Amino acid sequence: MSNIGSFIQEADWRKEKHSPLIEGPDAVSAGEIFELTVGLSPEIVHPNTTEHHISWITLYFHPEGAKFPHQVGHFEFSAHGESAQGPNLGPVYTHHQVKTFLKVDKPGTLYALSLCNIHGLWGAKKEIGLNS
């Protein structure tokens, strides 16, 4: 039996349209709210069609020295042009990018997972430090 981690694919977002991208500061002040944008590569556009789309992105924070990560948010993208008239004929499409705000008390690592309905799970990480 495989471990679920063996199914998480990773690649440089500059070369792979499925890989999540976490954009935000490299260091923050402890206890102060900061903004993150989590999405996919801005350089290689992922399709957003009924047949091929990103279903969700989940963001985690793993504090340095802690045993487990904490889920920051789970963001579902539910509209991909579905319609009773057929695929890609619907009136609304969600875009696979979110902005979120958080604060941390310790340095650590942010992890993002995205799920493509055809190409599976993709992961990325970003280290975040504390300002001195």
Query: Does the annotation mark 116 as catalytic?
Result: yes
From the candidates 46, 53, 96, 126, give the one annotated as an active-site residue: 46
Query: Does the annotation mark 119 as catalytic?
Result: yes
From the candidates 17, 62, 106, 125, give the one annotated as an active-site residue: 17
Query: Does the annotation mark 74 as catalytic?
Result: no
Sheet holding 98-102, edge to edge: 20-23, 34-40, 98-102
CA-based nearest residue to 76, from 55, 99, 103: 55
Query: Does the annotation mark 62 as catalytic?
Result: no
> Residue 124 corresponds to which amino acid?
A
From the candidates 15, 52, 95, 103, give the one annotated as an active-site residue: 52
CA 7 to chain centre: 16
From the candidates 53, 96, 116, 126, give the one annotated as an active-site residue: 116
From the candidates 62, 106, 119, 125, give the one annotated as an active-site residue: 119
Q: Which residues are catalytic?
A: 16-18, 46, 52, 116, 119
